[in-house]
Amino acid sequence: MLALQGDTREHVAALREAGAQVSTVRRRSELDTVDGLVIPGGESTAMSHLLRVFDLLDPLRERLAAGLPAYGSCAGMILLATEILDAGEPGREAVPLGGIDMTVRRNAFGRQVDSFEGDIDFEGLDGPAHAVFIRAPWVERVGPEVQVLAQAGEHIVAVRQGAVLATAFHPEMTGDRRVHKLFVDIVAGAV
């Protein structure tokens, strides 16, 4: 669990309920020991800044390029992209980690007041997932190897490329642990 900023506590609880052993990552030595990594929702520009401060940006990019399974929700989805639209002010912008070949638009659904929730069809889950969207991004472009797992209207809100999974919404804020279980299964299959 990347524990620099964001809703780490909620993800830790969801991962444990889904059967994972969870440790937090704040240092490179901790990053080097994990079999998979969750990048939580939060503020993508703040997380980008902290990745630089803690000297985790390049090591994380390297681990992702080497096949580290990862799951990002909301801000985590933004960071896992290869391209970020509306990334923020120069020098303080969200930086792409390149885990999934996609273009993501930050805060695409609007401001905090525009946050919403609802049920969406999610490929691979037995029934709709309840999705909580908070200042959520959406995916504007996916590469040929990216699998689209869910949409909200015409907007892509869940994707997977190999061992990397991302959602624009926050499944950790619901009692539904199926997305976290999917990630736990991805990690188990990769080790």
Is pLDDT above 70 for 191?
A: no
pTM equals: 0.95
Q: Is 106 annotated as a binding residue?
A: yes
Q: Name the CATH topology of 8-188.
A: Rossmann fold (3.40.50)
Residue tagged active-site, from 11, 74, 83, 145 = 74
Buried b (16+ CB within 10 A) or exposed e, 101-131: bbebbbbbbeeeeeeeeeebebeebeeebeb
pLDDT given at position 135: 87
DSSP codes joined into one string, the chain: -B-SSSSHHHHHHHHHHTT-----B-SHHHHTT-S-EEE-SS-HHHHHHHHHHTT-HHHHHHHHHTT--EEEETHHHHHHSSEEET--STTS------SSSEEEETTTT-SGGG-EEEEE-BTTSSSPEEEEESS--EEEEE-TTPEEEEEETTEEEEEEETTEEEESS-GGGSS--HHHHHHHHHHHHH-
Condensed to tens digits (0 to 9), the pLDDT of residues 47-97 reads 999 999 999 999 999 999 999 999 999 999 999 999 999 988 888 899 999
What is the pLDDT averaged over residues 96-124? 90
Q: Domain residue spans in the chain?
A: 8-188
Active site residue 170: yes
17 catalytic? Reply is no
Ligand-binding annotation for 73, yes or no, is no
Is 134 annotated in some ligand binding site?
yes
Q: Let me know if 145 is a catalytic residue.
A: no
pLDDT at 110: 74
Write the pLDDT tens digit of every residue in 118-169.
Answer: 999 999 999 999 999 988 999 999 999 999 999 999 999 999 999 999 999 9
pLDDT digit string, tens, across residues 3-31:
999 999 999 999 999 999 999 999 999 99
